[in-house]
Amino acid sequence: MSIDAKVIDKLAELSRLEFSADAKAEITGDLENIITFISKLSEVNTDGVQPMSSVMTSSIEGEVAYARERNDEVTEENNRESYQQTAPEADMGFYIVPRVVE
């Protein structure tokens, strides 16, 4: 399957990644091969099959269902200070980010 430069640019934008011209050529080739490979799935007949999004909630007959609900309660403590210690830049309880408003 061939992928045009527009698709790669769009994916890079969605992924918040950037590539040099050489790297772009390389990843385009890789993605073409990978997408051809995963496209094999179209051969499988899945008519009437319910999608399985989780092992725990799958509707396989007779299987152990172990998904559970929890009470809607706040259990987290306020750890702002300790969490912000790992930030590249934080001050007075705020994360400092590049200017977004001119």
Partner 1 sequence: MSELVKLGLKEAAEKVKAREVSSVELTQACLDRVQARNGDINAFVTVCSDKALEMAEASDQRVKEGKSRLIEGVPLGIKDLFCTEGVLTTASSHILDGFVPAYESTVTANLWKAGGVLLGKLNHDQFGMGTANENTHYGPVRNPWAMDYTPGGSSGGSVAAVADYQCMATTSTDTGGSSRQPAFMTGTVGIKPTYGRCSRWGVISYASSLDSPSVNARTVEDAALMLRAMAGFDPKDSTSADIEMDAFDEDLADLDVKGLKIGLPTEYIEVEGLDPRIKQTVLSTAKRFEEAGAEIIDVKFPLIEYAVPCYYIIAPAEAASNLARYDGMRYGLRVEGENLVDTYKKTRSAGFKLETKRRIMIGNYVLSSGYYDAYYLKAQKVRALIARDFQNALDKVDVILAPTAPTPPFKVGALTDPVQLYLQDIFTIPNSLAGLPAVAVPSGTVEEGGTTLPVGIQFIGKLFKEKDLLKVAYAHEQMTQFKPLELKG
Chain residues in the site for partner 1 (CB under 8 A): 7-8, 10-12, 14-19, 27, 30-31, 33-35, 37-44, 46, 49-56, 58, 60-64, 66-68, 70, 75, 79, 82-83, 85-89, 95, 97-100
Cβ proximity to partner 1, 5 vs 38, nearer residue: 38
CB of 101 to partner 1, least distance (A): 10
What secondary structure does DSSP assign to 71-91, as a single string? ---------HHHHHTTSSSEE
Instruction: Give 5 or 83: the residue with its C-beta nearer to partner 1.
Output: 83
Tally of CB atoms within 10 A around 27 = 17
* Spatial contact of 80 and 91, defined as CB atoms under 8 Å apart: no
State CA 67 to chain mean position distance. Answer: 22
Tokens at 20, concatenated: 């040099």
95 secondary structure, DSSP code? E
Q: Give 5 or 18: the residue with its C-beta nearer to partner 1.
A: 18
Q: How far is the CB of 2 from partner 1 (least distance, A)?
A: 14
